[in-house]
Chains A and B, each alone.
Chain A
């Protein structure tokens, strides 16, 4: 809905931001009625609030937080968010403080998205200018993608549900966005910090290192580099300032250095906090190991639980490898094809791993749908937008109904719920495919505009 606020001035942008905060606060005051924190769509074994509280409790009673396969998150989250799970204020909802942290994380993420979006818009304008396309594409028609993306992120029902449902995904999403923001605005330590924390919290963002390297190496999204070269060859104007920078290794070495530093730092902190309980190895086993071996088969909106509930035990390892390699297979071709648009590449990666990850939740979808707003100008001609919208809308309503039919009424069965999960996965695939093809079409269109302009000779 909020994609409508396209041409809103920043004044009304802030109104909508405040309205979203108020809306969240209202919802927070009905925790019992909504019961969101126990929905399988919201809380997975990795992001569940209850498990976090359990882990904290175990740790407080000087046991390993990973005892009993309840908690599978980072020990740092335990130290940071754990105390909030037990703190209560008289007369207020039970987990008010924790919910407030989620709200703040959401708003902070939105602000980072906005700043990054503005960065991207400037880069887009700059590249249009250097291709001399500004006359054809009116600047006023170029929407401020940062505002749109931030509002989409804030008002996306998925984000709101994940925030009110007390899952830890707002914090995880914030780390991912922090990483992208740092890379876009060339704050290398920040980017490295975001990347390390995001990887530490949920493992999958590790593959974001590729878009981050591209971002640091060649700068934010632009049309293909060869377009600039062609154009400047044609006009034989050697205006080097209009050419985008080539790939530079210096920031990447910086990034590697900082990433190393931060990861050592994080590991040392984890080691200290888990000193009595088996150390870092224990942590790796019950966080990354738990993610990679898909131990928990409770239903969620992904497709893996059903598959691994059905598969024979002796094939299990083979299929585990197949499913995880699935993600890795897609990394390289996409990186080659989209290397000139690192932010879009990051979006595609995030969409892919939030579809194929072992315990997906709506919080992951919230992240990539928010990032989609960055590319409103490029994806203006995306096909199937209406179909995708209806699909997302229908599936997100149908999925709880099917779950109810299966679990509470007993008239359905697991296939009913899994069917919606499959439809959801298909929708995500269509979104990614159509997004990528729309982006490539956009590049093609720019190329036609630059090279075909003399041929058309309209002026």
Chain B
């Protein structure tokens, strides 16, 4: 970037030959306005083209061989599953105080199959905001707290040891279950898992251990799974767990199981492990649904926009659609489905595709308008959930340990008779069996297919190589404009300097006097650095606010805003003002500031696109126009032409929209209607971001907000 800019400087002096790449750079810089308009438009257009460019998924790993064996799950297993469902639903009525009873039933059923059963108890871990956690490894900062006996949950874990395996690998099946208020749906999900489990305890082909985790979801599904995973992955050498058990009498009841159960059982109160996990499936059944056919929805987004390997989704999709005849869907942004402008866009693309097909029948990128609208809605929700950086289900906990996991939610056709139950058990069970059998075939961990992709439908995806083009086009103008501004500013600075010293031989003396010409940007860099420092402080302030007890979200937000402004003023008065005064007189200072700002935004967006693409894309859509357009209002007012006036309006509007809270309220208002918007909502949203250690929070605090402040600084610049 600067490559080109400095070479263009030397271009002005007579030089015999310019290298083609330099000439290209000079050309780009000279036409930076045109280039940026073209690139930005192309970037936005490419984003809307993504559903058209989506490819069909395919199973990349040969070893998976989904559906090659016929399902072995028979009616007898379903009957056993049904029995467990009945027991659970009736025990629910019997003792619903602690939920120990249902865990006991499940454990006994596991033991009856000859599996190893154990219980895992965990304490509810409150989500605290630890600012330094972003930079450290996942388990370094777990703080031991004093827990009371009242806030623990109990997971039941069953393990089948593979007859053909060496115990080094495992497949995990998770069924969230809340014993305190379980509905039929949760019981059904346990029934499905149990029927599969009972089958797997007999089969001979198993090469990986099967772990069935009944996660106690009274404190949330995610908390239970992540607590179990944490204990699974980080062995504890202290005897803390036994101590706790003695302290809490309730749990002792569960240990009675040892006595109750049949002889030769493998029940143990200690933590049981199998091998490393190859994959994990979280199974849920939603009780009330208004579907017209049996449907499975797949949730895949883990923290920070990480996705499981695409092969896992492919296998589930393939088996569900082609073997079990289930309807598969992924999350959509429903509000987009009815938008008329998308339909028009879809029709345009459809007709374009037809034209292309008539020109050359081999070009098959045309999709129908309805397909396009649905694809866009799915893509938008895919982007949205990835950008939030929050996991969409308990499967998110697995991704933190590099385990591919998805949540399958079965939505049965609406009916309430018993036959339907066994049908669901059979089909769901066969699906799970097929997936486990496929994963069982794996020789290595998932690595063949994509990790970085966006889904536009369960069987269509946009890979990283395609969606990065849209992003790259969007941010490509940034370095070019930065370079052109830099060249302008530094050449102007040089000229003014030489004018002052000797007007006669300006160019000559310029060469002959010793200047700090090429280091002029340092002052602007200092300003940008300070604003980013302020951004870091602003993102750390909530840590302090969290300590204040009994704060409503609205007051917390107000305190946050106040403290941020206070810190800004302090920083400004202590560090910025006395030093920046010296150089404030410099003409075109704003251009240098803008150039450095744009460079920092470029670095920030580039960095974020690696960490979480969706955040970077949405951030780029907001920030790139704002950065590129920013120009002192004073200059525009002075110019007084229509063009400058429209630019001024554009600047003001963008400056308003791109302010992070404003953008949030606008987006929320557009999605949910403006009635529900209040100030506290932003605080709650931000709280959820840092509680889940989402990098989006850091992005907003340390890239987006400073960029906005700097753009406002440029707008209000007194030049």
Q: Which residues of A contact B (CB under 8 A)?
A: 1, 3-4, 6, 30, 32-35, 136-137, 141, 376-377, 380-390, 393-394, 397-398, 401-402, 405, 408-411, 445, 448-449, 452, 456, 458
The answer to whether B603 and A390 touch across the interface, beta carbons within 8 angstroms, is yes
Residues on A with C-beta less than 8 A from B140 are 32-33, 35
Contact A137 B514 (CB under 8 A): yes
A449 lies within 8 A of B135 (CB): no
Nearest-neighbour CB distance to chain A for B664, whole angstroms, equals 25
Q: Is there an interface contact between A141 and B512, defined as CB atoms closer than 8 Å?
A: no
What are 5 sample pairs from A and B whose C-beta atoms fall under 8 A apart? A4-B525, A137-B514, A385-B519, A401-B607, A449-B512
Tell me which of B514, B516, B529 has the highest count of chain A C-beta atoms within 10 A of its own C-beta. B514
Inter-subunit contact A382/B518 (CB<8 Å): yes
* Distance of A377 Cα from B607 Cα, bound (Å): 34
Residues of B within 8 A of A384 (CB): 2-3, 6
Question: CB distance A390 to B136 under 8 Å?
Answer: no
By a CB distance below 8 angstroms, the chain A residues around B505 are: 456
B515: chain A residues within 8 A (beta carbon) = 380-381
The B521-535 residues at the A interface (CB cut-off 8 A) are 521-523, 525-526, 529
B517 engages A448 (CB within 8 Å):
no
Query: Are B306 and A409 in contact, with the CB atoms below 8 A?
Result: yes
- Measured between beta carbons, the chain B residues less than 8 angstroms from A452 are 512
CA distance A376 to B6 in the complex (A): 19
Q: Does residue B618 face the partner (Cβ distance < 8 Å to A)?
A: no
Q: Is the CB of B3 within 8 A of A385?
A: no
Contact of A398 among B136, B512, B513, B606 (CB under 8 A): B606
Residue-by-residue, is B294-323 near A (CB-CB < 8 Å gives 1, otherwise 0)? 000000000000100000000000000000
Q: Which of B514, B596, B603 is within 8 Å of A377, CB to CB?
A: B514
Q: Decide: B610 and A401 in contact? CB cutoff 8 A.
A: yes
B residues 198-235 in Cβ contact with A at 8 Å: none
Contact B6 A383 (CB under 8 A): yes
Contact partner of A386 (CB less than 8 A), chosen from B2, B132, B451, B603, is: B2
Closest beta carbon of chain B to A200's beta carbon, Å:
35
Q: Does B546 sit at the interface, judged by CB under 8 A?
A: no
Residue B137, interface by CB 8 Å = yes
Whether, in the assembled complex, B382 has its beta carbon less than 8 Å from a beta carbon of chain A, the answer is no
The reply to whether B522 and A394 form a contact with Cβ atoms under 8 Å apart is no
Scoring B residues 564 to 599 as 1 if CB is less than 8 Å from chain A, else 0, what string do you get? 000000000000000100000000000000011001
Q: Which residues of B contact A402 (CB under 8 A)?
A: 610
Chain A residues closer than 8 Å to B519, beta-carbon distance: 3, 380, 382, 385
> Is there a chain A Cβ closer than 8 Å to B59's Cβ?
no
Q: How does the 8 Å CB contact mask read for B474-506 relative to A, with 1 for contact and 0 for none? A: 000000000000100000000000000010010
**Chain B residues, Cβ within 8 Å of A393:** 603
Nearest to A416 among chain B residues (CB) is B610
Whether B606 lies near A141 (C-beta < 8 A) is no
CA distance in complex: A390, B483 (Å): 12
CA distance A381 to B133 in the complex (A): 42
Residues of A near B691 (CB, < 8 A) are none
Kindly state the separation between the CA atoms of A136 and B306 in the bound complex, as whole angstroms: 61
CB neighbours (8 Å) of A385 from chain B are 518-519, 521
Interface of B is mostly: helix
Contact of B452 among A32, A141, A398, A411 (CB under 8 A): A411
Establish whether residues B514 and A4, one from each chain, have CB atoms under 8 Å apart when the complex forms: no
Q: How far is the CB of A372 from chain B (nearest CB, A)?
A: 12
Check A380 against B599 for contact (C-beta < 8 Å). Answer: no
Q: Let me know if B603 and A394 touch, CB within 8 A.
A: yes
B1 at the interface (CB under 8 A from A): yes
Q: Which of A3, A35, A389 contacts B136 (CB 8 A)?
A: A35
What CA separation (Å) do A154 and B5 show in the bound complex?
A: 31
- Contact pick for B132, options A4, A34, A382, A408, CB 8 Å: A34
- Which residues of chain B have C-beta atoms less than 8 A from A389's C-beta? 521, 525
Q: How far is the CB of B6 from chain A (nearest CB, A)?
A: 5
Are the CB atoms of A410 and B529 closer together than 8 Å?
no
Residues of B within 8 A of A410 (CB): 402, 451
B372-405 interface with A by 8 A CB criterion: 402
Contacts of B132 in A (CB 8 A): 30, 33-34
Asked if B245 is at the interface (CB within 8 A of a chain A CB), the reply is: no
Q: Which residue of A lies closest to B137 (CB)?
A: A35
Q: Cβ of A380 and Cβ of B518 under 8 Å apart?
A: yes
Shortest Cβ distance from residue A148 to the other chain B in the assembled complex, whole angstroms: 11
CA distance A449 to B514 in the complex (A): 11
Interface centre among A3, A381, A452 (most CB of B within 10 A): A381
User: In the complex, which residue of chain B has the Cβ closest to the Cβ of A438?
Assistant: B518
- The 9 tightest CB contacts between A and B, nearest first, are A387-B2, A411-B451, A33-B132, A410-B402, A394-B603, A383-B6, A380-B516, A386-B521, A385-B518
Contacts of B610 in A (CB 8 A): 398, 401-402, 405
Contacts of B596 in A (CB 8 A): 386
Interface centre among A376, A385, A398 (most CB of B within 10 A): A385
Chain A residues, Cβ within 8 Å of B675: none
CB-CB under 8 A from B451, the residues of chain A are 410-411
By a CB distance below 8 angstroms, the chain A residues around B417 are none
B141 CB within 8 Å of chain A: yes
The answer to whether B254 has its CB under 8 Å from any CB of chain A is no
Is B12 positioned at the interface, with any CB of A under 8 Å from its CB? no
Residues of B within 8 A of A386 (CB): 2, 486, 518, 521, 595-596, 599
Q: B533-574: contact bitstring with A at CB < 8 Å (1 yes, 0 no)?
A: 000000000000000000000000000000000000000000
A165 to chain B, nearest CB (A): 13
Nearest-neighbor residue (CB-CB) of A452 within chain B: B512
B144 within 8 A of A: no
Nearest CB in chain A to that of B404: its residue: A410
Please, which residues of chain B bring their CB within 8 A of the CB of A397?
A: 603, 607
Q: Say yes or no: is B611 at the interface (Cβ < 8 Å to chain A).
A: yes
Alpha-carbon distance A32/B306, docked complex (angstroms): 26
Cβ A136 vs Cβ B512 within 8 A? yes
B1 — nearest CB in chain A belongs to which residue? Answer: A387
B576 CB to nearest A CB, Å: 11
Contact (Cβ within 8 A) B512 A445: yes
For A143, the closest partner residue in chain B by CB is B516
- In addition to A380-B517, A380-B518, A394-B607, 9 A-B residue pairs with Cβ atoms within 8 Å of each other are A33-B135, A35-B136, A136-B512, A385-B521, A389-B525, A390-B599, A409-B306, A448-B512, A456-B508
Q: Which residues of A contact B603 (CB under 8 A)?
A: 390, 393-394, 397
Does B511 count as interface, using CB distance less than 8 angstroms? yes
Q: Which residues of A contact B513 (CB under 8 A)?
A: 136-137
In-complex Cβ contact of B518 among A136, A137, A381 (8 A): A381
B141–A33 contact, CB under 8 A?
Answer: yes
Task: Give residues of chain B (414-464) contacting chain A, Cβ–Cβ below 8 Å.
Answer: 451-452
Q: For residue A35, which residues in chain B have a CB less than 8 angstroms away from its CB?
A: 135-137, 140
Known: A410-B402, A445-B511. A33 touches B521 (CB 8 A): no
Q: Report A-chain residues with C-beta under 8 Å of the C-beta of B529.
A: 1
Q: For the complex formed, measure the closest distance between the CB of B444 and the CB atoms of chain A, giving whole angstroms.
A: 12
Q: A386-B2, A402-B610 are in contact. Are A141 and B135 (CB under 8 A)?
A: no
CA A410 to CA B405, docked complex, whole Å? 14
Note all chain B residues with C-beta closer than 8 A to A394. Answer: 603, 606-607
Report A-chain residues with C-beta under 8 Å of the C-beta of B3: 384, 387
Kindly identify, within residues 322 to 345 of chain B, every residue whose CB is under 8 Å from any CB belonging to chain A. Answer: none
How many angstroms between the C-alpha atoms of A33 and B134 in the bound complex? 9
Residues 140-172 of chain B, each 1 if its beta carbon lies under 8 Å from chain A, else 0? 110000000000000000000000000000000
Residues of A within 8 A of B6 (CB): 383-384, 387
Q: A410 vs B452: C-alpha distance in the bound complex, in angstroms?
A: 11
C-alpha gap A152/B61 in the complex (Å): 52
Q: Whole-angstrom distance between the alpha carbons of A448 and B514 in the complex?
A: 13
Residues on A with beta carbons closer than 8 Å to the beta carbon of B526: 1, 4
B599 CB contacts on chain A under 8 angstroms: 386, 390
Min CB distance, A137 to chain B, in Å? 5
Give CA–CA (A389, B521) in the complex, Å: 10
The distance in angstroms between the C-alpha atoms of A389 and B2, with both chains bound, is 10
Chain B residues closer than 8 Å to A411, beta-carbon distance: 306, 451-452
Output the least CB separation between A431 and chain B (Å): 13
Is A34 within 8 A of B136, CB to CB?
yes
